[in-house]
Structure 1
Amino acid sequence: MSLIAGGAPLPLILDAIVRGVEADHPDMVCSILLLDASGQHLLHGAAPNLPAVYTQAIDGVAIGPSAGSCGTAAYTGRRIVVADIQTDPLWDAFKHLARDAGLASCWSEPILGAGNRLLGTFAMYHRTVREPTADDLGDILAAAHLAAIAIERKEALDALAISQVRAERATADAQVLSRDFETLFTVSQDLLSIVDADGILINLNPSWETVLGYPQGRLIGTSFFDLLHPDDVESAVAVSPRLQVSGEAHYSVTRCRCADGTYKHIEFRVRASDHRVFCVGRDVTEHIQAEADLRAAKAEAEAANRAKSDFLANMSHEVRTPLNGVIGIVDALARTELSSAQREMVTLIQGSGSTLERLVSDFLDVSKVEAGRLELEIREFDLEEVLRGVLEIARIRADAKGLAFRVDYGPTARGLLQGDSVRIRQILDNLLSNAVKFTSDGEVSVRIEVLEGATPDDPTGLSVEVRDTGVGFDSTTATPFERFSQTDKTITRRFGGTGLGLTIVKALVEAMGGEIHAESQPGAGAVFSIVIPLARSLTLADYDQRLGRSLAPGPVNDVLGGIDTDRPLRILLAEDNPTNQKVVDLLLAPFGVELTIVENGELAVQAFTENPFDLVLMDMQMPVMDGLAATQAIRDYERNSPERARVPIAMLSANAMEHHRLAAAKAGADLHIAKPVTALALLAGIEHALATTPRDEAPVSNSA
């Protein structure tokens, strides 16, 4: 400090620092390396007792993550302790130098100036393998601080040549630093203080007044614990004895009382030495408040998201219920004799109803994607049966526009697979709908393959490629999978749509662990390809030999006709909405079904216990007793009535969310049919429910 105050040359000061530390540690040699102007290398500063060959070899060493103790300390900005140079990978490039110089261990401290600016490193070398003691670490830290003072003062003095004002300021700062080391407190915005073993404040810097509002002199001599919030005193007092024993730094956040009586959160870093505790505090009140605000905002957002999901579920039910009436009645009307004008109007209504139903489903799916609540139902399915209906609908759409439609199956694209068949149909339907919609002339083609793994019966995934000759888009700049996005704003006006279809497709594919890609050029059509990992549940050889593969439902008019009964099919319908009652009645009337209608779940249970039925169609939401409770009651009745066989139950519901389907299955329903219900969906659902009922559990007097 005397040399610094006296304006001695920097090399002399650094040499004195090194010799001073070595005097206290005769078994060690020390060095100071300085950061060069580029900030990439370390240059010789002082090392009076290191071998000259070693000093010359490391002069100009590049800093880095594995550059010995000093180069690594400069790179990381933290102390590096290497107890055994010959075994530590940080020294791989310098082991021979250390061995030749007789150096076994090295501890290096980065020399940091104001604002943690790297100035160089201070190193202590030992000729034996060893770890540093607490005193060693204290000395190396003190030496680095002194070196920092000297280096920064040298920089300040060098600046005198540029500006006399700056020179006077640097000289004044140097004089202050040389008079009293404690004046370093004044340059810190943190709360710096020294406390004795009893917690009495010995010294503190002006930041205490800036942050807490107390004049410096008012707090000196008072107890540090008196400033703490009463709830934080006990933990702070408990830490004090441990600090004196361990000598380790301790971190904590405590509340300190301000001069105006309010409290601020202060993050303290404290360390004890020689029966004193050195404290560095930082005001983190705003940070903690920001975290609290963030947590509150997150909770509010989650609550809003739950409310949105509940709202969407309710809206789904409210929209689908009247929509079911519209679509169902129009579907039944279309099966009657109509004039050409009437049939045209019915067809338009059917198309609009189908579009509206699709929009409702798309918005629900997008909401589930955003909430991270998109769930999959993994079940066994027959690939050809699952895709047949989607492909046939796409063919009809293509024929209506005068487009060629081609489907190519790969040689192994068949069999029983494990996956969510409903979502796979949805993916293909969206891709085909887009292809047909955006193609005015030409062709839409589909290529379906099952990619095999190491053996023919070890598939790696389902591959689907949809290709069209439509309007296309620039795949290098467009984002077709972004929600509410269409590549050209005129697309919406020309072709309609919400821009949600491909967003849903991408989310579904990725939820299944698959990938989707798009290639296109404006005016040259588009190609969408997906690969979804699936597993076979039956080998191809066994699948091809299995009997009874022709289980796919036939045309609508043949569905119920294919069920072998010696009497009319007896169906119990539980539905509180008169319009929906009429819809089901109209759809089933042409098949001679014996339909019993009740308006709530309680009446459904009563009717079931009093009369035999082949099938129950159960609405989910009804007054008195809802469909879930009624289904559970029917299943309980069956378990307690051995003479009554299990009857299939199909749940009709405007609640289309995944948890509604799961709730229906848990209650005992065999099938969930989402509203609005079309003739095809209703009849296919009835056939499926009856066909999947085991023969030995089939209703008495019904061979179906």
Structure 2
Amino acid sequence: MGLGRFGAWVARLLGGHALAQARAHAAQAEARLRDVIDAIPEGVVFLDAQGRYVLWNRRYAEIYHRSADLFRPGARLLDTLREGVRRGDYPDAIGREEAWLAAREAKLATATGERHEQQVADGRWLMIEERRTSDGGVIGLRVDITEMKRQAEALEQALAHAEAAHRAKAEFLADMSHELRTPLNGVAGLAQALDATDLCPSQRALVADIRAAARQLDRLVNGLLDYGDADLAPDERPPAAPDRPLRVLAADDNPTNRKVIELMLEAAGMQVVTVENGFEAVEAWRTGGFDVVLMDLRMPVVDGLAAIRAIRAEEAQAGRARTPMIVLSANTSPHDRNASAAAGADGHIAKPIRVEALFAALQQALPAQAA
């Protein structure tokens, strides 16, 4: 073999080895990427600029298990949706199939990150969020919010039942007041009228006893009704929106947490605006009109403590009214609570959020409005 041919052979050998090594590295990187995506608890799907499947995780296939046989790279999501509609996978589409598909296609075409809900055939509810990627494709997120919907419905029913019980108790007290005070007023009035007539000493003494007994009975009735009114005090009533619905600004970087807050507060008639980080929270607060701010601590861009401090500083500098702020965080150590208070928070409640704890914090921060 000549020197030139030998050199070419060596070059091909080395080139082939480099190519094989590059392919091995690419396969390893792809496997790692898939492992990471499969570890995400929400359903994730990647589409190319033409709306065709590129990659999806295990949870996405589990969520859409009735359509998973249609998933393959290069297939169009809209074709999968059309087949799913034909199979009856989407209850909302029944009877309006083409309109449903057109609306879904429009949302996919814009992919602005706006969240919407979708029900599937087995009764589960999904929250869908889709955003454009830098290459014109789409990344989609699917979160199963069935349990949150159930909790919201249960909360709404509990609020309705509590309101009904509150109204029934108020009506009972009103009826009791009428039924007790009407004859009492008659006894006291007749005794007073009798006392003004010509009576012998023994008769006058009896009338005095009757009037004293009437006064004692009046005190007892008043005490009973006052106790009943106190039993209807704000802290015993179900949380409800005042004459003017509370406007709440909630900052949390987790979309599921934001949805939980929305469901809890909107079920009670409050108006909720959600943002994803502390920077957006400060910007939204500057527009004004919020009665209270709910702030997560650990968020990207600007964290919750920094956002609280920024708002308090601007309030002081501009002479603005103090906006109540409540921290919602999984960090609940004494150090974290002290840090929240030092930054200017008015309360600190733990995640996972319990609805009674949230409303209790709102009532404490806003006693006039929340009552």
One fold, TM greater than 0.5?
A: no
**Structure with greater strand share of residues:** 1
Per residue, is there more helix in 1 or in 2? 2
- TM-score, with normalisation over the residues of structure 1? 0.24
Higher relative contact order (CA 8 A, sep 6+): 2
Look at both structures and tell me which one has the larger radius of gyration over its CA atoms: 1
Normalising by structure 2, report the TM-score: 0.43
